[in-house]
Structures are given as structure tokens and as C-alpha cells.
A and B are shown apart, each in its own frame.
Chain A
């Protein structure tokens, strides 16, 4: 029961450029989260945005949420080689409880030095 779908599936950019990844979902949500996964490692939480928020920043990360379009975007500014990883959006549905977080299939980002 995939809820979030990331786009594009893969993205390759040069160091210093900005990277934008998008996530679309189907049902009403309580919040949407973005996670990063380096190769061979577990997922690391990056940022959480609630349904009543439209934009959130954390360092070089900017997340937007458009609940009318059921979509979110993650922008990484001034990318670095160390940002090379897979990025997943995860949605927590409205009225959900523990165990209801649903992950998308991810965007694989490659940042070339």
C-alpha cells in the first residue's frame, strides 16, 4: 500500500548545484517526513513537516508541502558529494497511529565532485 511516490527515481547533479526531489501521496496526512539512506546504512530522519505547515527549513534543506495537491518537495541547496544517497518521503496518515508511517520507493541522488 504505497502512499508516497518520489520523483524522479534517480537524479545526477554536479557539486554546488541544487537538488529537488518531489513526493506525491494519495490520502490526507497528519505529517510528511523525509529520510536519507546512505549506501548500506539505515535511514536517517531529516525533517518532518505537519499538515498545517507549508514550508520548513533545516540547514541546506528546504521542504514544502502542498496539501491541496497532495505533494511535497525536498530541496537541497549547494549540494556536496556527501549528499549522495537515497532520499525517501514517508507519510503519516490523518488519524493514524504507531505503525502507520508509509514509505515511498525513494529518489537516488548522485552528486558528482
Chain B
């Protein structure tokens, strides 16, 4: 049972380059999230998808786009990377129903550097 799988684990980009971070979960969860973690800032929500077919902006969506490809997969795209997007990115998922629907399951993260 892999849980939440993110690829790649590390990436270095030049300013202006584009890339897509991939995320897949095998827990049949309805909701999926993308966070970024910066030193001293905690985790900040970029985008989330409450269910297949829907996406919503979080606290820091500028410079990013997302696609909920199907129930399992939720990708994050940087169209034109900027140094301010250097961060560690985490994907997470949660069930939409039940007693612990607010509990998040996290992937192991993608460390992204933009030069």
C-alpha cells in the first residue's frame, strides 16, 4: 500500500522553464491537495481538489496550475518557473466522508530549486 506517491523527488529548473509535479494516491480518497513548505513559513495551500472534476485555489495559487486527471491523480504545473517558487512541494489526500475526513495523508515531497 503505497499511499501518496510524488514524482520527481528532486528537480532543478532554470528561470522560465516549465514542469509538472505528479501525484497519485491509492487510498480511493476523494480530496487531494498541493502545499508548499518554505523555511519558517509552515505549509501553505496552493490548490486543492475536493472531488474528481473540481479544483479550487488555496492561499498561494499564483504561478501554478493544477489538473485533477482522475480520482487517483492530481498534478501541479509551473508554466514559467521563478526563483520565488524554490520550495518543497507536498501532495496530500483525504477522504471526503467519515469521522476522519479532515485527516491528511502526505507524500514524501518534491524539492524544487529554480535558478
Contact = CB atoms under 8 A, between A and B. Distances in A.
Contacts, number: 59
B59 to A, nearest CB: 6
Contacts of B59: 1
Contacts of B44: 103
A39 to B, nearest CB: 11
Contacts of B45: 99, 101
A97 interface: yes
A103 B48 contact: no
Interface string B43-58: 1110010100000101
A98 B97 CA distance: 10
A48 B100 contact: yes
Contacts of B108: 41-42
Contacts of A2: 42
Given A98-B31, A103-B42, A48 B109 contact: no
B15 to A, nearest CB: 25
A62 to B, nearest CB: 19
B14 interface: no
A45 B27 CA distance: 15
Interface of B: 4, 31, 33, 35, 40-45, 48, 50, 56, 58-59, 90, 92, 94, 96, 100-109
Interface of A: 1-2, 30-31, 33, 35, 40-45, 48, 88, 90, 92, 97-99, 101, 103-106
